Amino acid sequence: MHLSTDQCDISCVCDPFWMAESRTTQRPILRYNPATLRSRTRLASIRIMEFTATKLPGAFLVSLHKIEDHRGFFARGWCHHEFAAHGLTTNMVQLNVGFSHEKGTVRGLHYQMPPHEEAKFVRCTRGAIFDVIVDLRPNSPTRGQWVGAELTAENGVMLYAPEGFAHGYQTMADDTEMYYLTSAFYAADAARGVRYDDPAFGISWPLPVSVVSDADARWPDYAVD
C-alpha cells in the first residue's frame, strides 16, 4: 500500500520526501516518493522548532512545535537546518546525560577553554531543572551576565548556549534527568568552572542548595573585567 503525504504517519510529514510502504509480511519500508515533491515554499513554511532570543546575544530558548493527535504528539528536538538558519552552531559531537537523585542539587557551572570551547543545547527529560548560562566571552557587551530558565519534561523547553558560556543547573524535583548536546569533545585539560554562588554573577537559584560536588564548591572567585 502506498501512502500519500496527506495520508501517511506523522514521521512521513516531517520527512516529506519519503513515503512508507507497508506489507503484511514485512516491516514497513521507506521508499522515495516523487509525488511528494510539492512546493518547497509550502514545506519551508512549516514550523519545526520555535526560537526565542534571550538577553544574551546568541543564546536562545527553543520550544518544541508539537503535532498532536489521539496518540500524543510528535516533534523535532534537533534540526541542522533550523540551527543553521538562525546562525547557530550545527556541529554537535557529543550527547551527555545527567541524573540527580535529590531536589535542590546544583551541578556546574562548567565551560572549556579555547580551543575546546563548546556550544551546548540542553533539555530536561524527567523532572525539572532551573538551567543557567553565564556569558564569559571577553568582548561581549553582556559579559558576566546570566540567564536562567525552567526546563521540564512537561514544557519541553530547551536552552541553547553558544561557545564562551558557562553552564549549570539546579534540580527542582527528585530523580531528575537531563541531557545536553555539545559542539566539542570533552577535554579534561581545558575544563574549567565558576562557582554557583560567586558574587561576581549573583545567580538567584530558586531553591536552597541541597547537594553540590566538592569540585564545584571549590571554584575560585571569577574576575569579570
Closest by CA position to 146, among listed 208, 56, 225: 56
Catalytic-labelled residue, pool 111, 180, 196, 222: 180
Confirm if 38 and 5 have CB atoms less than 8 A apart: yes
Q: Which is the catalytic residue, given 110, 160, 167, 222?
A: 110
As a whole number of Å, the CA-based R_g of the chain is 21
Secondary structure letter of residue 137 according to DSSP: -
The reply to whether 169 belongs to the active site is no
158 Cβ contact partners less than 8 Å away, ≥ 6 residues apart: 61, 62, 63, 64, 77, 121, 122, 123, 151
What size, in residues, is the chain? 225
DSSP state of 35: G
Q: C-alpha 149: how far from its chain's center?
A: 12
Question: 65 catalytic, yes or no?
Answer: no
Alpha-helical regions (H) of the chain: 10-14, 40-44, 80-85, 214-217
DSSP state of 224: -
Instruction: List the catalytic residues.
Output: 110, 180
